Amino acid sequence: MVPKTELISHIPLFAGLGENEIAALAQRAVERRFAAGEMLFWEGEPCAGIFLIAEGSVKIFKTSSGGRELMLSLETAPSTVAELPLFDGGPYPASVRAVDGVVALFINKSDFQQVCRQYPDVALKILAVVGHRLRQLVGLVEAMTFGSVTQRLARLLLDASRQAGGEVFDLPHTHQELASRLGTVREVVSRNLARFRAEGLVRIEGHQMQILDRAALERESQE
């Protein structure tokens, strides 16, 4: 496996930290491996520590009382999960599941807090990530509150295109995961994608999508 110090240095959360700071984190990090579909932790569990995702992707989600999942984010290595409860003393606010094979570095909460006390820049980096996640959640609430599923799906595709920097991009999730993110069911997502394709707004080949008529898709996002 790649040395822990190298893995940690590639995680955006710790970009710009000095060698001593990264070494302090690496000394306290324990490697953990998760198979596809395996849980890293469940919502409501006491926070044991922070997970640094070195390989693979994880899904962050909430579960309703009826068992329905709402995806909050899909995090791909290099990234981190479970930053917030390190500081507020609360439990994990959401569940995290491995999407594919995941290699993570786990740092115990007390050990991580000790590093933050020794190197304040680490805590400042964490606050920046927490702020970014808060903005994501505000955007998710807005997307689920305003507009129909068709509008929200069109906005999601337009956002994915902008993030990819072009008209051709990989679909961000499966139809089920798209439905989870939009607060609906898979059939509704599949039906809307099929209509977009039939009307010449998009082309779908496997997991790849191409926006053919951006103006029309933008109209769908606003109507």
pLDDT in tens, 138-174: 666 665 555 578 888 888 888 888 878 888 888 766 7
Helix 120-145 and helix 19-28, axial crossing angle in degrees, nearest 10: 70
Q: Which residues contact 50 (CB under 8 A, 6 or more apart)?
A: 80, 81, 82, 83, 86, 106, 107, 109, 112
**Stretch 5-28: mean pLDDT:** 85
Check residue 142 and give its pLDDT: 60
Q: What is the dihedral of CA 98, 133, 68, 89, to 10 degrees?
A: 90
Give me the chain's average pLDDT, please: 84
**Stretch 21-46: mean pLDDT:** 93
Q: Are strands 49-55 and 57-63 parallel, antiparallel or unpaired?
A: unpaired
More confident residue, 139 or 4: 4
5: pLDDT strictly greater than 60: yes
Percent of the chain with pLDDT strictly greater than 90: 29
Residues present in the chain in total: 223
97: pLDDT strictly greater than 70: yes
More confident residue, 133 or 28: 28
**Stretch 103-132: mean pLDDT:** 84
More confident residue, 99 or 64: 99
Percent of the chain with pLDDT strictly greater than 70: 92
